Amino acid sequence: MSQAPRRVTIRDVAARAGVSIATVSRVLGGTYPPAPATRSKVMKAVRELDYVANPHARALSGATSKTIAIVLNSVISPYYAHVAQGVQAEAARHDRLCLIGITGGDAARELATVRLMREEGADAVILVGNVVDDDGYKTRMAEYASALAAAGSQLVLCGRPSLGPDVPSVNVEFDNTGGARAATSHLLSAGHQRILYLGHRVGYTTSEGRIAGYREALAAFGVEHDPGLEVQGTWERAEGYRLIKKRLQSGPPDFTAVFAANDQVAAGALKALRESGLRVPDDISMIGYDDLPPAEDIGLTTVHVPHEELGRTAARMVLERESAGAGHVMLGTHIVVRDSVRPLARPR
Amino acid sequence: MSQAPRRVTIRDVAARAGVSIATVSRVLGGTYPPAPATRSKVMKAVRELDYVANPHARALSGATSKTIAIVLNSVISPYYAHVAQGVQAEAARHDRLCLIGITGGDAARELATVRLMREEGADAVILVGNVVDDDGYKTRMAEYASALAAAGSQLVLCGRPSLGPDVPSVNVEFDNTGGARAATSHLLSAGHQRILYLGHRVGYTTSEGRIAGYREALAAFGVEHDPGLEVQGTWERAEGYRLIKKRLQSGPPDFTAVFAANDQVAAGALKALRESGLRVPDDISMIGYDDLPPAEDIGLTTVHVPHEELGRTAARMVLERESAGAGHVMLGTHIVVRDSVRPLARPR
């Protein structure tokens, strides 16, 4: 096979001139210019080698690219990461860069990030995830929406409820309640009636949507709702572990199944159950929510949320629409059956 | 308890004026002004309620924040996500925003992202992870370094080898080779000699560092190096699964232990071994690399890489240094022992 002729690089120029690459770069870039003698040596080598400055170097001083921005609390959460991945994929398809701002859950940093993205000229600013849907939140979002619209950009809410028809924003949700109803029904169909709901975050929209589905399924199956089975907690792995440990301190389990608010909570709960000598699914059945790592690795039956599709849809709604405006999409969820639920032998 | 008086919000103004929040926002923001009659109604409500425009609204038109930027291939990889988390934490401590650019592994998008971050006025642009350390790469990095330095910013390489003293960049690495030497020694000490190295990516710096440690440990223990035990492959879960499936097609395992190039590969390999009726650690011992999810959930003994500390250190070196310049830090790695390695009964 013949080889394409090797392009002359900045390294070759540096070698020929007997200087460092950084020196060549300084001469060509005109920044931090070195001594005139050095400059002459470099320019001589450039001419002799017929060096064409790298397209990269030229592009580095080119015009600003169009961007689409996404603002997250954290990138460690696989939930956020997978939504961001969807936005990135769709942005690339439309020749946009994808910028992610991280707030750490801090409102002041969220504000500063939205402002930065607006100044950046982002086509859209996508905010993702669980919120407390109170007056302060609604006001803040209305202000973002107006400020972005005024700059020719757009506010997109992803996995959050709509702000209503008056606020110029695009909205992509998934069916939290439907998924939770299906998950609970799956356990009820297997004969479980004492189902521990693990990790309810009161007031948070995603959490309220999920627990509503749990309650609806109980009602549909005619199973009495025991508020003592609804355990409040945050959505981390360590919290799932802690909640089960605490619950089992006072005696044997008063439940035959666990519906964890998300897969992380399920992973922590699984560990705590095992440490207490309880096997899943032999002794306790378990179902999670999200279908994100580590659900597959721990064989967890869970509710699949189309995270990447959420991000893709959000980006697509902004980039493929002819003019800015409102819009609302609700994506479906479904159960993924693995190996963490077992039918309960019913007492006769 | 007495309650603080509730602040008048844009909602109150909207309700008093009988218009939508968006309309109030338009009037106050001066964008998309509504009809004069509507404007009068709104301004009357503002005066009556003594409404002070939300600090958020004012801040939304404030000055640009300082940022620190990090450029990643993907946010789905927990490796990148944890480094980014470290950068974000340190940026927050120094009152900087953290912006993440995603390239999808595409050089043109990397270039455009670095350029955008430079125009953005980022204090530093941090590039993370595994690369093929060839001439093209070195040239590209030298050009980034010069362009960023010229704009008063800085190039930071995180988990990548240094560009040498001539290129103005900061460099934070971790000890890939030391970690792999320790992991392999751990298996050798348990009596394993046929250790399958799973997932070598030839030419990639991180991978070359790890396999060098594997080979060094074999040599130190006087165990002959069998190149047939070094299996090439990428670093995804599905690849670990595929490689083990393929290896076991031709007969029983010709190895007693697996050293997976990272935890994702280990998780895939574990699944494939189980499907072939081989238990870990009873039949096959296994060790991974990274100590990221799902290592804990699958009980994997692995090498801990201080990912967040890598990000924190990178950000700190830029933000706490009095003037821009070069710098190089190497962070340590260590083994985390869980439950995937068992001593091998030595034949006598």
**Domains A10-59 and A176-305 equal at CATH topology level:** no
A118 contacts in B (CB within 8 Å)? 60
- What residue has token string 């032998």? A345
Domain A67-174+307-332 homologous superfamily, CATH: Response regulator (3.40.50.2300)
Residues 114-143 of chain B whose Cβ lies under 8 A from any Cβ of chain A: 114-116, 118-120, 135-136, 138-140, 142-143
Q: Are strands A334-336 and A67-72 parallel, antiparallel or unpaired?
A: unpaired
Residue of A nearest to B19 (CA): A166
Q: Which of A21, A42, A126, A262 to mutate to test the interface with B (most CBs of B within 10 A)?
A: A21
pLDDT in tens, A218-269: 999 999 999 999 999 999 999 999 999 999 998 999 999 999 999 999 999 9
Across residues A9-14, what is the average pLDDT?
78
CATH number of the B10-59 domain? 1.10.260.40
pLDDT digits (tens, 9 = 90+) for A12-24: 878 888 888 777 7
Q: Do A57 and B92 touch (CB under 8 A)?
A: no
Which structure tokens are listed for B244?
């083990």
**Distances from the Cα of B279 to the Cα of B273, B282, B285, B339, angstroms:** 7, 5, 9, 12
Binding-face residues of B in 52-81 toward A, CB within 8 A: 54, 56-57, 59-62, 64-65, 67, 74-76, 78, 80-81
Do B56 and A166 count as a contact with CB atoms less than 8 A apart?
Answer: no
- A236-248 pLDDT, tens digit each: 999 999 999 999 9
The answer to whether B149 touches A32, Cβ cutoff 8 Å, is yes
Chain B residues 175-234 within an 8 A CB cutoff of chain A: none
- Please give the structure tokens belonging to residue B194: 């046929």
Q: What is the mean pLDDT of residues A16-38?
A: 71
**pLDDT at residue A136, rounded to an integer:** 85
Q: What is the pLDDT of residue B37?
A: 79
Q: Which residues in chain B land under pLDDT 70?
A: 1-8, 26-34, 46-47, 49-64, 322-326, 346-348
Reported as a single tens digit per residue, the pLDDT across A86-97 is 999 999 999 899
Q: What angle do CA A179, A182, A187 make, to 5 degrees?
A: 130
Nearest-CA distance B255 → chain A (Å): 24
Per the prediction, chain A carries an average pLDDT of: 87
b/e A19-52 (16+ beta carbons within 10 angstroms → b): bbbbbbbbbbbeeeebeeebbebbbebbeeeebe
Q: Given the DSSP bridges, would you call strands B257-260 and B230-232 parallel, antiparallel or unpaired?
A: unpaired
For residue B115, give the nearest of A60, A145, A166 by CB distance: A60
ipTM of the complex: 0.79
pLDDT value of position B325: 58
Residue extents of the structural domains in chain B: 10-59, 67-174+307-332, 176-305
Please answer yes or no on whether A76 and B82 come within 8 Å at the CB atom.
Answer: yes
Which one of A72, A85, A100, A103 would you mutate to disrupt binding with B, by most B Cβ within 10 Å of its Cβ?
A: A100
What's the average model confidence in pLDDT over A281-305? 95
> Which of B75, B115, B162 best tests the A interface by mutation, with the highest count of A CBs <10 A?
B75
In chain A, residues 266-295 whose CB comes closer than 8 Å to chain B: 267, 271, 293-294
| Mean pLDDT in residue range A32-52 | 69
Topology classification of domain A176-305: Rossmann fold (3.40.50)
